[in-house]
Amino acid sequence: MGADDKETRKTRVTPLRVPLVADGGYSPSLVSEPGRVLAADRWLARKFLAALGNPRLAIVFWSGEEVRTCADRPVARAVVRDRGALYRMLTNPVLHFGDLYSVKRIDIEGDLVQFLEATYRGFDNPGHLKLIKKLQDKVLNRPRANTLTDSRANIQHHYDLGNEFYELWLDTEAMQYTCAYFPNPSMTIEQAQVAKLDHVCRKLQLKPGDRVVEAGCGWGGLARHMARHYGVMVRAFNISHQQILYARAKAKAQGLADRVEYVEDDYRNISGEYDAFVSIGMLEHVGPSHYRALADVIQRALTPTGRGLIHTIGRNRPARMNAWIEKRIFPGGHPPTLGEMMPIFETHNFSVLDVENLRLHYAKTLEHWLARFDRNVGKIEEMYDHYFVRAWRLYLAGSIAAFNVGSLQLFQVVFARGTDNNLPWSREHLYK
């Protein structure tokens, strides 16, 4: 592969890479002179650990000196390379830690996931870090808007990184970049993603000939699975150009082009009438201020006996997205609570039939992804660079931690019109 190709690929990731160096002073070249460790440095580090609830963590200064507030052996150590990094991390840990870790001004000795779980548990405890959290939520980190134009930019930021990149660590079966379903936790990621697709199709009670619309279809794996195994016709919407090209090519190669149509457009522009509405992993990108618009889309699109399913990352309590992930990885994202989601259904008399929480399934999915990512780290570093690899490892490990400690949830919500009485008498059919 020539240098030009490589250059092209590299330009796609600039939103992630350039700000790390140019914006906010995270560049490794900006490392402050370490100097000797001051009493103030130690005092701040202790305060920080205490605010996190004295977890089994240690902070190691540039001199090698270690501070900890828990008597038990640490599960991990944060090694801070210079005083600037220390102060940044303490003033806004969620946002700055990510960037400082990415450029290696902070490093983690020990298990990254366990380090993040311990800190997230601290953040989740309402007694801890009140002032810092308040500042973060209210002032420092406002999520980006999701107008039609911004949505496109926000989605391209993430999903147009390049299909080759995602192929290196997602499942090879259906290219699912959403939570898999592990009814048996020893399944492979391929088996669990197919199990997820079937779980969704069963919940939608698809029958041959049904017309299905999908809002936010990723690389199109669900649409192809539904068409092939359930005999339905699918129109699948997505605003990521890279994903649409990939999805169309796959459908053509699999002889499904006459049954699956991939539309490069926003969910708000969905037209037509359908027997099923499905959206897997899009709601996180929609933002609560647009839920009413989504409700109107579903109201227009679904037949009187149509079924709907929304699969989304969510929360137990309303909160902003992790600031660093919002800034570097997923601009415009907001994982809603069920309470925040309900206007989608309650506006137009839709009846919620079934909600399932698959939180630990997402932690397991991410563990598979991270293991595969790690096996391909050399290739990925060659495609992008070292900072990119560290940022993405942190994002995957941080997501595992967030699902494991319960900062994030995964909801599947099944719904139908309130006037539809053609309902199954139990959910047993999902488990046959």
360 part of the interface to its own copies, by CB under 8 A: yes
Instruction: Out of 25, 35, 183, 209, point to the residue binding its own copies (CB under 8 A).
Output: 183
Site for its own copies in 383-412 (CB under 8 A): 404-406, 409, 411
Contact predicate 420/305, CB 8 Å: yes
Instruction: Out of 32, 188, 303, 316, point to the residue binding its own copies (CB under 8 A).
Output: 316
Name residue, tokens 């592969």.
1
Contact predicate 281/178, CB 8 Å: yes
Question: Which of 234/405 has CB closer to its own copies?
Answer: 405
Contact predicate 285/151, CB 8 Å: yes
The CA distance from 231 to 251, in Å, is: 14
Contacts of 415 (CB under 8 A, 6+ apart): 307, 308, 309, 310, 345, 350, 351, 352, 353
Instruction: Out of 97, 219, 277, 345, point to the residue binding its own copies (CB under 8 A).
Output: 345
Q: Rounded to the nearest whole angstrom, what is the least distance from the CB of residue 430 to its own copies in the complex?
A: 8
Q: Which amino acid is at 164?
A: E
Q: Rounded to the nearest whole angstrom, what is the least distance from the CB of residue 351 to its own copies in the complex?
A: 5
Q: Rounded to the nearest whole angstrom, what is the least distance from the CB of residue 308 to its own copies in the complex?
A: 13
- Site size toward its own copies, by CB under 8 A: 45
Site for its own copies in 99-138 (CB under 8 A): 121, 124
- The region of 3-11, 82-90, 96-104, 314-322 touching its own copies under the rule CB under 8 A is 314-322
The CA distance from 208 to 227, in Å, is: 9
Question: Which of 40/423 has CB closer to its own copies?
Answer: 423
The CA distance from 368 to 362, in Å, is: 10
Give me the sheet containing 57-60, strands edge to edge. Answer: 66-67, 57-60, 76-80, 106-110
- The region of 90-98, 137-145, 170-178, 419-427 touching its own copies under the rule CB under 8 A is 419-427
295 part of the interface to its own copies, by CB under 8 A: no
Q: Give the rounded distance of the alpha carbon of 22 from its chain centre.
A: 25
342 part of the interface to its own copies, by CB under 8 A: yes
Beta pairing, strands 57-60 & 66-67: antiparallel
Q: Pick from 103, 106, 51, 98: which is nearest to 76 by CA?
A: 106
- The region of 69-77, 288-296, 331-339, 386-394 touching its own copies under the rule CB under 8 A is 331-339
Residue 301 bridge partners (DSSP): none
Instruction: Out of 184, 208, 253, 272, point to the residue binding its own copies (CB under 8 A).
Output: 184
Q: Rounded to the nearest whole angstrom, what is the least distance from the CB of residue 53 to its own copies in the complex?
A: 12
Rg (Cα) of the chain, in Å, rounded?
A: 23
* Binding interface with its own copies (CB under 8 A): 121, 124, 182-185, 316-318, 337-339, 342-343, 345-347, 349-357, 359-361, 404-406, 409, 411, 418-421, 423, 425-428, 430-431
